[in-house]
Structures are given as structure tokens and as C-alpha cells.
Amino acid sequence: MRGTRFDFLLRGVAPILWMLVAGSTAPPNAALAQARSGRAAGPPQSAIADPAHAPGSWTKFAVYRMKDDTVADAGFRAMSATLQRIDAIFRHVPSLGPPPEGVLIGVHATVGSYPTWTPAQFPYRRDVVPARYSVGFLHPGLFCSQGNCRVDQGEASGGVGVYINTPHMAFERPLAERKPDAMYGAPRRIGTVAGFPLYDLDDGIVVLTKREQPLWIPVTQEEWVRSKLREGQQNPPPSYASAEIRERYRSNIAKLEQELAVLPPRERTAPAYCCFTAALGEKSPPSGRSNPTDLQARPVVRLNKDLFDPHLDPSAVQIIIVSGWFKWTDAVNEQVKAYEHAHPGGPAADLALFAAIRKELDWKALSELLQ
């Protein structure tokens, strides 16, 4: 889902990579888990004396405007007010107000798209105002044992992200190149939180919406095979490729053409599944199609272009995705408590906070923001 400075370099080797891994469509690992949950990616920075940001407090709420020309001033103001209401909802969670001893809660709120994606990359209404609110659990005491210190944002060992009007955050990156009709592996619904569906993406996401339109629509097996064939045809080997690589490319294309040709009519219109882990001695079709019962098989889907109500104001909140460690059972919560008892304080104590947030957050108040 994210672009990097290496994208340009990778374009040159993409044809060769496609030939070497054709038929393997396993989805990426949950590489976005840290970014979604607010967890730190870098080493600790030096603690900075700042009584206003001492452990046991919250950082000041502020809204940052992203560089997004599609967001008008009125939309920014309206969404900023919504983010302030979300901030109040989280500050009223009993386990977070005040925060546990030694924990500094860092708040980050933004309006507008991130540099890693643009509205043009998605099929739905493009003038809706996207926003994000996140809280991170910071532990200054780990790096400044004398207390009365703060640690720069990014030192979080865990956190919760709230994503507004960004349905793509319900998925990992696309199974193919980012474009409006991109295909994704759908997350599994594994339960509910306060009556709202809980999915297994990362460590659990909760989806809130009043829209009766589905978040995604299924892709047929014929569409999936054709997309993999088209992907291969658009990535021929470069002129300097060896004869072995060119032959492998031709063989992969021929296998995909054959798979499409022999696909029975009833299977052509059936929902596609992909990305399973083949058992020892088993081979998947060249396109990576799976049976629904295969281990790790996921439905192949597209984002629904009709998800957003075209008659509502662009700043109207139509979908909220809450990302955190919400998929634990009560039995796992007991294990977390036991671990916390044996290892008091520090990031390990955050694990119990997620269970508390799941139970104590005013999910009804959050859902009342929806239109």
C-alpha cells in the first residue's frame, strides 16, 4: 500500500521477478501492522525534561492538515471538529483517564490523504474527506528513570488507530498494482466488538458504518485468471534477459492461457479465492487460485465504488475503521494479565490496555459520528 524510493528501481526487475514467482500470489506479511497501530519503528530517542508531558498524562490535542488539494477549508474545519469529538471519547475511557502510572499517551490527528496514497487510486467517490486519529502508549520511564520526562512521539510500544472515510485501510496492500479496480484478499470476520464486525487484519480491526452497501464486492475466477494473465503480458522480460528467463516467461504465459481456456463455465462466474499455502506435494494453478477450504485461502475482492453516499457532504463520516489489538479472547486476556503480573510495568503492561479499551471505549458514541 505504500510507495518507496525504491519503486523506480524495482520497475526494471519486475518482469524478471514476475517470471520467477508466477503462480505464487501469497499476500504480504502484515508489514503495515506497526504503522496502523502506532507502534514505533525506530530506536529510542533521548528523553526530554518537560513537566507538561510527564508520565501519567496526555499530549496536547492538535489537528495537522496534510498536503491534499481535494480537501477544502470547510471540509478541514468540519473534520477537525469530528476528530476533537473522537479525542474526547478516548480520553473518557476509564483505563486511560488518567493513564496508567508511567505511561504517556501521545495523540496524533490528521486530515487529508497521506503521501503513500491518493484518492485517485480508489474507485469510490474521491471528494470525501479522509482523516486519522491515533493514540500511542509511550513509556518515558524506560528511558528516563528519574521521571518528569517525555519521549518524542514514535517511542510507543503500542497504540490504536481510527481511520475515517478510508475503506482501503481494511486491507493489506493490493494483490496487484495499485489502481482503482485493484484486487485484494478480504480479511476474515472473526467476531464482533460491541456489536460491530471484527476482522483479523493485523491484530484486529473493527468496522463501523451505517451504509448498507458492502465494503467490497467479490471477484470472479475468470476475472482473477484474466488479471494474472494481463499482469504477465504487461511485464515481458527486458532485452538483456537470458534465454532461460525468456523461455520461462513464455511457459508461464502459456500456462495461464491454458488455465483460462479450460476453466468450466460454472467456475468462471464463481467467487475467486487465492493465496493458500499448498500442502506438501500439491501444486496450485498458475494463477494461484484456491479452493475456499484451502489453508489461508482468502476471497478475492474489489473495493465497492458505490460505498459512499453521493448526496452527503464530503466531510460526512461514512465509515470508521478502528485498528488495535482487539482480537483476543477472554482466555488470552487472562494470559496477558498473568504475564503483566510477572513482568510489571513497561510495554508489556500495554497488552492489558487493549483489552480494557475494547471493553470500556464508548463504541456507541463513536458510531453516532456516522451519517
Q: What is the pLDDT of residue 297?
A: 86
Predicted TM-score of the model (pTM): 0.77
DSSP 148: S
Which residues of the chain, if any, have pLDDT below 50? 1-52, 148, 150, 152-155, 346-347
Q: What DSSP string describes 32-65?
A: THHHHHT---SPPPPPEE-GGG-TTSBPPP-EEE
Domain borders along the chain are 31-215+304-367, 221-291
Length of the chain as a residue count: 371
CA 250 vs CA 11, 106, 259, 289: distances in Å: 20, 54, 14, 20
Q: What is the pLDDT of residue 157?
A: 56
pLDDT digits (tens, 9 = 90+) for 23-80: 333 333 333 333 333 333 333 334 444 444 556 778 889 999 998 888 999 999 999 9
Strand, coil or helix: what is 149?
strand
Q: What is the pLDDT of residue 144?
A: 54
Strands in the chain per DSSP E: 48-49, 63-65, 104-111, 131-138, 149-150, 156-164, 184-185, 189-193, 196-199, 205-209, 216-218, 273-274, 298-303, 319-323
Closest CA to 304 of 218, 220, 217: 217
pLDDT digits (tens, 9 = 90+) for 142-169: 555 555 454 544 345 578 999 999 999 9
